[in-house]
Structure 1
Amino acid sequence: MDPWRYSTEGISIAVRVTPRGGRDGVDGIETLANGRSVVKVRVRAIAEGGEANRAVSELLAKALGVPKARVRILSGATSRLKQVAVDGDPKGLGETLRRLTATKARSGPG
């Protein structure tokens, strides 16, 4: 099951963030102990003063090809597990996410 849901405005993504992860990137999909799927994201920013949240928003905007203003954190602002909304074409965003998470699931240069 995909860790994102479609809506008329765009998509809502379940994200697990690793702050101070050494680099900014999407690391694929992970299934949590409770069976929930999440998109794994790492950012260089620290989890203080909203720095990691800003970095996550910027990373997802860049990866999905949308302006930063279209990405907002719906819940989990102080947690590693977040729900992030991205406004835009739901089908196109979903396809881009699927490509991003599929290619990042394999190891290799990248």
Structure 2
Amino acid sequence: MTVWSRDGGDLLLAVRLTPGAAREEIGGVWTDEKGVQWLGARVRAVPEKGKANAALIALLAKRLDWPRSAISLESGDTNRLKRLRIKGGGELLSFARLSAIIKEQVEAS
């Protein structure tokens, strides 16, 4: 199982977020008790009023070189485990580019 999947023209990304971290980073994979894999991410923002979620979207946009407005939280608003939708990321050329970048982040740790 992988941390991303395609949904039509979009890319869905599974992320395990650690808010309130000392530094912001993306990397590594966390596997839950059901065997589902989640991309690890840490942000400095606190989990209050959506600040950590906004910081996660900003961090992903920067690392993926993708418009922030094209990344949205699909589920996990108040949970560490989140699913994000990257609009346009599932199109053939975009998917190949983004999946290569995400794979690099997964192997970073």
- Give the structure-2-normalised TM-score: 0.89
Matched residue, 1:27: 27
Aligned sequence identity (%): 33
Moved more, 7-16 or 64-73: 7-16
Q: Is 1:92 equivalent to 2:97 in the alignment?
A: yes
Q: How many residues align?
A: 104
Aligned partner of 2:37 in structure 1 is 37
**CA RMSD, Structure 1 to Structure 2 (Å):** 1.1
Q: In the TM superposition, what are the counterparts of 1:1-110 in structure 2 within 5 Å?
A: 1-87=1-87, 88=89, 89-102=94-107, 104-105=108-109
Deviation string, structure 1 residues 30-70 (Cα, Å, up to 9, x no partner): 11122110001000000001000000000111111101101
How far off is 1:9 after superposition? 2.0
Please, what TM-score do these two structures have when normalized by structure 1? 0.89
| Segments ≥4 residues shifted beyond 3 Å | none
- Give ranges in structure 1 of 5+ residues lacking alignment: 106-110
